[in-house]
Amino acid sequence: MDLQARHEKPAQAERETDRYRLKRDEIVAAAARQIAERGLKGLTLVGVAGMVGLSTNSVTYYFRRKELLAEAAVEDALARFAEVLAPDSPPSTPRDYLRDVLARNFALAAATRRGEAPPLTVLSEVRALEEPARTRLIAAYFALVARVSRRFGEAGGDAREKGRAVARAQLLCDLLHWARTWLRLYAIEDFPRVEARLFDLMDRGLAQPGARWAPPELPFDQREPAVRGTNVEAYLRVATRLVNLRGYRGASVERIAGELQLSKGSFYHHLNGKDDLVRACFDRSFNRVSARQHCAFALEGSYWDRLCGALSSLLELQVLDEQPLLRDTALLALPEEMRRHAINRSDRVARRFAGLLSDGISEGSIRPIDPLIASQCLIGLVNSASDMAPRSHRWPSRAALIEDYAGPLLFGFFR
């Protein structure tokens, strides 16, 4: 073989490797878009093949099974989310770090809206993956949260101070993730203003100077809406916990019925199918949130006091981990029709918070902020709090955990 041929062979192999990598990335991006539109349940190799102009057999050259493609899409989304958070970026003050994170997040949101980048909503499906990918990627996500927490606290602090740093990091990640749902309400041209208002909220919080966290206790007999029936209520409790734990796809009828030691026939006697059950779970969660909102808003005292009462009651539900609310990440993983129904219910709950915030601003007990943006952040705060339950050992009491998790949004991340 002559010298020229020896040089051409590695160059050709490198070009082929580049072509393979580019096509693989294109397939993963197409999968992310399909999952964002239809949920993991709606991901198909046939659909992805059509999006990238290949045959199904050609796609299987890159990913032998749909599950492997789903895993690659989630892993790619996690890597891009890590680029947004940049926990290992050059040292800066926590405030400057937060400003940079928001700038990168809104730039990605704009690129996604323009079709220049695949969506990150695929991250919501990590709990529905098969093992061992599920455990590995969940661990990678929480490791990312831990790295972000070091940007908000000193490594040598006591257990509670470290817990506060983790709480701020967890809340930041969940607020960014939830923002992908409510940013649909804004045009790209409005993103700079929304980014500035969001930074102001996270920097300074909702509270007026001198305000305290002293939430009034809600009357117990007004907390829960009426239950439709013992059997159906049991299904709803188990299904909510499993969807939170394993995602929409992972909470199968067999697993739900098995946990209740009932047959699938018993399940279908009470409910038409899994989609009806998940819709009922969302309705139950939103009914419980609404009941606590109405109860808190009817209390005596300032609008600040009423807001604290509502949040304390809702966060208690989440950190108890016995009958939690359905997570927002489960909402992002729903099929499109069900997602619209759930998002409409969520928007009504958010608007109720926005009304209270507006009244509090007029009264003077709540700092002037954008009520619509702040209300969506309150929804994200409540939904994400369930992730703090496994970390409760860092706090002396459940009340202390609730105060520290609500604190960054109420009083600012840098209080």
- Residue 404 pLDDT more than 90? yes
Q: Distance between CA atoms of 352 and 358, rounded to whole angstroms? A: 10
* pLDDT confidence band for 221 (50 / 70 / 90): low
Single out the residue of 206, 180, 248 nearest to residue 367, CA to CA: 206
Greater pLDDT, 345 or 354: 354
CB burial readout 93-120, b (16+ within 10 A) else e: eeeebbbbbbeebbebbbebbeeebbbb
Q: What DSSP state is assigned to residue 124? A: G
When pLDDT is averaged across residues 46-56 and rounded to a whole number, the result is 95
Using a cut of 0.85, tell me whether the model's pTM lies above it. Answer: yes
- Residue 6 pLDDT more than 70? no
pLDDT of residue 220: 54
Tokens found for residue 110:
């704009």
Q: Distance between CA atoms of 304 and 147, rounded to whole angstroms? A: 33
Look up residue 304 and give its amino acid.
W
- Residue 259 pLDDT more than 70? yes
Single out the residue of 133, 195, 198, 141 nearest to residue 173, CA to CA: 141
User: In a 3-state reduction of DSSP, which class is residue 273?
Assistant: coil
Q: Distance between CA atoms of 356 and 295, rounded to whole angstroms? A: 13
pLDDT of residue 163: 87
* pLDDT confidence band for 222 (50 / 70 / 90): very low
pLDDT of residue 384: 85
pLDDT of residue 3: 47
**Could you count the other beta carbons within 10 Å of the beta carbon of residue 196?**
14
* pLDDT confidence band for 332 (50 / 70 / 90): low
Cα angle 128-259-71, degrees, rounded to a multiple of 5: 10
pLDDT of residue 392: 85
When pLDDT is averaged across residues 307-317 and rounded to a whole number, the result is 94
pLDDT of residue 200: 98
* pLDDT confidence band for 236 (50 / 70 / 90): confident
CB burial readout 258-297, b (16+ within 10 A) else e: ebeebeeeebeeebeebeebbbbbbbbbbebbebbbebbb
* pLDDT confidence band for 223 (50 / 70 / 90): very low
Greater pLDDT, 156 or 174: 174
* Residue 354 and residue 348 in contact, taking contact as beta carbons nearer than 8 Å: no
**Could you count the other beta carbons within 10 Å of the beta carbon of residue 365?**
19
Q: Distance between CA atoms of 23 and 60, rounded to whole angstroms? A: 12
